[in-house]
Structure 1
Amino acid sequence: MRFSANLGFLWTDLALPGAIRAAAAAGFDAVECHWPYDHATEAVAAALSETGLVMLGLNTLRGKPGENGLSSIPGREAEARAEIDRAIAYARAIGCGAVHVMAGVAEGTQAERTFLANLAYACDRAPDLTVLIEPLNRYDAPGYFLSTSDQALHLIEQAGSPNLKLMFDCYHLQIMEGNLTRRLGRLMPVIGHVQIASVPDRGAPDHGEVDYRHICAVLRDLGWSKPLGAEYKPIGPTGESLDWLSGLRAI
């Protein structure tokens, strides 16, 4: 199994180019991030080229404090699409293959229509990229529009865009729904990326209520070959939290 370091949580003491180099030195196969926009694309692209790593994905900006995204909020379409455009341009500049369009805090049918319209905009603007949507659990992200895999599947089916995919975050979906083994099997055709962290503390994927040795074996048997995103919050220095890596890599 191969792994991607999520630099939104790992090596946060370093600027993004330095974190990319640290991930390469630690043996990761790829990297991903949340919001890289404070860093020049030239510096990030140079670090990726130097290390040979690929940036798998990045997020649209969240908007104002507490909003957690804009794309499902009626009346904010112009702002949401400006952030989609910014994310697409940044991704293309650094050779990143996916953009996670963050929904924001909203509810109801008008929010769904707004989100679908903005996702259609993103998919049409970036047919060369994967557009990702991610259910977030209601404890960490109260009020977030998208919170379950069934809701995400409904949106993907409604949108009908071949480049719209599900970000299957095992941490969020275990909290909201559980039954990860069967959900992975059922949703595999629409999954664009998988992320891992322990549950319930979102620490390294070597403890808690999810056995990632089992999850990795399930993914292997399902034919998954892309790196899994290590999106966890280390206790202490990131380099001291990586004992799990060699064991899961061997699966």
Structure 2
Amino acid sequence: MPKFCANLTWLFKELPFLERFEAAKEGGFDAVEVLFPYDVNAQDIVNELGRHNLKMALINCPPPNYTGGEPGWAAVPAQKERFRRDFNRALRYAKTLGAQHLHIMSGVAEGDEAKACFIDNLRWATEAAPKQSLTIEPINNDTMPGYFLNCFDLAREVLEAVDAPHLRLQFDTFHAAKITGDMLGTWARMRDLVAHVQVAQMPDRHEPDQGEIDYPAFFSQLAAEGYDGWISGEYEPRSDTRAGLGWIA
């Protein structure tokens, strides 16, 4: 049975942030993720999670929201000190919220020096947070130009180099389709590394229903393969979020 999660950064934006938790529960979700919760009092989020019996599946690192700024810096050699300082802040938030996963963003960089920096920072992070599940996610260059981790083969290389059981892959179907043109084939190659799944339809990044990807079949495949992690809706609703939740039925 699939376990569905609502990304509250993308969904229910017609509501004030703290009201989105109740809407997610009423919409049929048992967990939520918030990309950048750092501008909100952590205790207020904890209260909403408890009030509506929701789990926090994932948050992003680094803080704060990178809107208008850099999308992380784990692979940016000149920002190594900043990454490690901000990772510790993100880790405190993750622990307070009970976040199952903490997603580490690579940032904009390129080349062998960036790869070495990324691997070194991830090794450091896995040692600094031995009990926290950590993820990395390939992101396509149309959505985030210049993002270092823009390839699934690179993601595997990095994960195998770090070789830590609590550092795994965050698999976003939209990014997989954009990067490779073959979401299902990419899933088949990478599923042994996956800890968390995010979904959106191609090509418009709306609800995972009608479009290029057969999501009912994909969800059935995940269940048959024994995937027991969260499946998070990370998409731009066509209109009111609640009107488009038929995909989780």
Q: TM-score, normalised by structure 2?
A: 0.94
Q: Does 1:153 align with 2:133?
A: no
SS of the equivalent of 1:3 reads strand
- Alignment partner, residue 249 of structure 1: none
- Alignment partner, residue 209 of structure 2: 206
- Alignment partner, residue 136 of structure 2: 133
SS of the equivalent of 1:56 reads strand
- Alignment partner, residue 39 of structure 1: 40
In the aligned structure 1, how far is the partner of 2:221 from the partner of 2:112? Answer: 35
Would the aligned equivalents of 2:195 and 2:229 in 1 still touch at CA under 8 Å? Answer: no
Would the aligned equivalents of 1:41 and 1:90 in 2 still touch at CA under 8 Å? Answer: yes
- Alignment partner, residue 52 of structure 1: 53
SS of the equivalent of 1:57 reads strand
Would the aligned equivalents of 1:129 and 1:163 in 2 still touch at CA under 8 Å? Answer: yes
In the aligned structure 2, how far is the partner of 1:64 from the partner of 1:188? Answer: 30
How many matched pairs?
A: 246
Would the aligned equivalents of 2:176 and 2:183 in 1 still touch at CA under 8 Å? Answer: yes
- Deviation for aligned residue 1:186: 3.0
- Deviation for aligned residue 1:176: 0.8
In the aligned structure 2, how far is the partner of 1:108 from the partner of 1:186? Answer: 24
Q: Does 1:226 align with 2:200?
A: no
Of 115-124 and 145-154, more deviation after overlay is shown by 115-124
Aligned alpha-carbon RMSD (Å): 1.4
Would the aligned equivalents of 1:11 and 1:19 in 2 still touch at CA under 8 Å? Answer: yes
Segments of structure 1 that go 5 or more residues without pairing to the other structure are 247-251
Q: Which runs of 4+ in 1 moved over 4 A?
A: none
- Alignment partner, residue 72 of structure 1: 75
In the aligned structure 1, how far is the partner of 2:160 from the partner of 2:169? Answer: 11
One-letter amino acid of the structure 2 residue matched with residue 152 of structure 1: A
1:174-228 per-position Cα deviation (integer Å, ceiling 9, x unaligned): 1111333333233222101011000111000012211111211221121012220
One-letter amino acid of the structure 2 residue matched with residue 146 of structure 1: L
Q: TM-score, normalised by structure 1?
A: 0.93
One-letter amino acid of the structure 2 residue matched with residue 138 of structure 1: N
- Specify whether residues 172 and 38 from structure 1 end up closer, same or farther in structure 2 by C-alpha distance, changes over 3 A only: same
In the aligned structure 2, how far is the partner of 1:111 from the partner of 1:195? Answer: 26
- Deviation for aligned residue 1:85: 1.0
In the aligned structure 1, how far is the partner of 2:55 from the partner of 2:120? Answer: 30
Q: Identity across aligned pairs (percent)?
A: 35
Segments of structure 2 that go 5 or more residues without pairing to the other structure are none
In the aligned structure 1, how far is the partner of 2:52 from the partner of 2:8? Answer: 15
In the aligned structure 2, how far is the partner of 1:37 from the partner of 1:126? Answer: 19
